[in-house]
Amino acid sequence: MTESHDTGDVIEVRVIEPSDDCNLYTYEPHRQRFRFAGVHQAAEPAPVDRALIVDALSGTDIDIPVLLMSHRAILPGCIVRARPIALLRLKDGNDEDRYVVAEPIADSASSSARTVADLAPEKRLALDKFVKTSLDGQIHPTVIWEDGALAMAFVHDVKRAGKLVRAKSAKQNVPAVAWKPLGYRAAGARRAADIDPHTDSEYAYHQLPYRFQHYVDEYLAPDERILFAINRPAMKSALQHDWLKRGKTIQAGILFLTDQQVVLVTEIIPPDQSSIRYGYIIHAGVPERIGSVNVLPTGSNVCLDITWHSATGIEHTLWEFPCEARGELQAAAELLCGWQPRVDDRRLRRAYGAQPVEIELRDPSANDPAAIIPLTTRLTDALQTQLAVGEQGLARLLIPAWANSDNVARILAVTNQRVLLVPDPQSPQTANLEVYLRNISSLMLKSSILDSWLLLRVTEHNETRSVKISVPSTAPGFEAVFQTMRQQLVAVPVR
In a domain? residue 301: yes
Q: Which is more confidently placed, 16 or 132?
A: 16
166/214 same-domain check: no
Q: Which is more confidently placed, 247 or 252?
A: 252
279/414 same-domain check: no
Q: Please choose, from the candidates 397, 388, 384, 389, the residue with its C-alpha nearest in 3D space to the C-alpha of residue 358.
A: 397
130/25 same-domain check: yes
> How many whole angstroms separate alpha carbon 119 and alpha carbon 305?
68
In a domain? residue 186: no
In a domain? residue 216: yes
pLDDT tops 60 at residue 190: no
Domain assignment of residue 89, given as a range? 11-170
Q: Poorest-confidence range of 3-7, 69-73, 338-342, 476-480?
A: 3-7
| pLDDT over 90 percentage in the chain | 32
What's the pLDDT score for residue 1?
A: 42
Cβ count near 48 (within 10 Å): 23
328/375 same-domain check: no
Query: How many domains does the chain fold into?
Result: 3
Q: Please choose, from the candidates 147, 11, 4, the residue with its C-alpha nearest in 3D space to the C-alpha of residue 66.
A: 11
113/243 same-domain check: no
Burial of 204 (C-beta count, 10 Å sphere; 0-12/13-18/19+): middle
| pLDDT over 70 percentage in the chain | 85
> How many whole angstroms separate alpha carbon 152 and alpha carbon 4?
11
In a domain? residue 295: yes
In a domain? residue 355: no
219/113 same-domain check: no
CATH of residue 153: 3.90.80.10
pLDDT tops 70 at residue 358: yes
Give the HSE-up count for residue 298: Cα atoms under 13 Å, Cβ half-sphere: 20
| Max avg pLDDT among 150-159, 166-175, 393-402, 470-479 | 393-402
In a domain? residue 385: yes
Please state the rounded mean pLDDT for residues 104-119.
74
46/98 same-domain check: yes
pLDDT tops 90 at residue 36: no
On whether the CB atoms of residues 429 and 423 are closer than 8 A, the answer is no
User: Cα torsion for 216, 182, 355, 157, to the nearest 10°?
Assistant: -90
Tens of pLDDT, residues 55-88: 765 556 677 889 998 888 998 888 888 889 888 8
124/212 same-domain check: no
In a domain? residue 383: yes
Q: How far apart are the first and last CA of the chain?
A: 60
Pairing label, strands 453-460, 290-298: unpaired
Burial of 373 (C-beta count, 10 Å sphere; 0-12/13-18/19+): middle
104/152 same-domain check: yes
158/73 same-domain check: yes
Cβ count near 30 (within 10 Å): 5
> How many whole angstroms separate alpha carbon 178 and alpha carbon 169?
20
